[in-house]
Structure 1
Amino acid sequence: MTERKPPGVSFETWADKQIRDAERRGDFAALPGAGKPLPSLDAPYDELWWIRGKMQREGLSALPPSLVLRKEAEDAMEAVAAAATEAQVLRIVAAINDKLRDALRRPPEGPPLGRGLFDAEQVLADWRAARAAEAAAREEAAPAQEPPVSESQGRGGWGRLFRRSRSS
């Protein structure tokens, strides 16, 4: 839209003409998100939607740093529960303990942190116990498998009837 609106032409018709010309040139064809639904279409209206979006894109939080760290500690324990190996568990615990150690040295703003470091050995023992309980629950829930029927035992039932009728 580098052109100026000519005098005597209504703004609506001039804008519509600019849009039609751009569509013909294909200026709208390769826009990001073309053909996709708007991400916040079903969300309730929020007057501060643009502030919240900007904060999310910038990685900012409206919570005080101490509460953010508490939430990170909770998320770390959820990640531990979903971890596949002991090495992953130890890495997750070491990472959150580093953050907690920094916060304990220099307390962040906001309410008190209210928690200490995680005991890596205890977390690992709890993780092992949870894995063992899951395995036991799976074994208990699995139906008892019947041993396969060998050819010497015969098929029984309909197979026996079918063999009799063919041999007679």
Structure 2
Amino acid sequence: METTYFKLEPLLRQHKKTPLALAQVSGLSKTTVYNLVNNKAKAVELQTLDKLMAGLEQLLGRPVRFDEILEKRPSSKQERLTRLLKDAKPFCWKDVQRDLPPLTLEEKAENQAFMRLLEEARKTDLELSQVRDRRLLELFEPQKPRKKGAVPR
């Protein structure tokens, strides 16, 4: 997944300008400008973007294009995954199993005990979820209107 980033820091450095100067000419708060310059902002309103562009144009003395201040690049999580999987090759689980040593009797017994425990937990969870579902349905079931004088049950 790609994420949009601001390229304000290198642009300001290239023109020997500071975030403080940008805040002063744009009318944006210092905090807002620093958050934009350091890519800490989660969302930016159009009004903020308008002020930012106007401030940059005034500060740099020329028109500024969006592609000068914004770029799309992979998110850091995606970059890490890409690096990790760069030289990864597909594998066949049967080949992996073939190369693994066989389980000892103790390991087999442990595995079977774990599988029994897991199955019991699944059954218990299923029973509890059915009870929960029934209670929720009762809570949200439309109430039938009572006749006048009828005694509630």
Report the TM range for the smaller structure's normalisation: under 0.3
Identify which of structures 1 and 2 has the higher relative contact order when contacts are C-alpha pairs closer than 8 Å and 6+ apart: 2
Higher strand fraction: Structure 1 or Structure 2?
2
Q: What TM-score, normalized by structure 2, do the two folds share?
A: 0.26
Larger Rg over CA atoms: 1
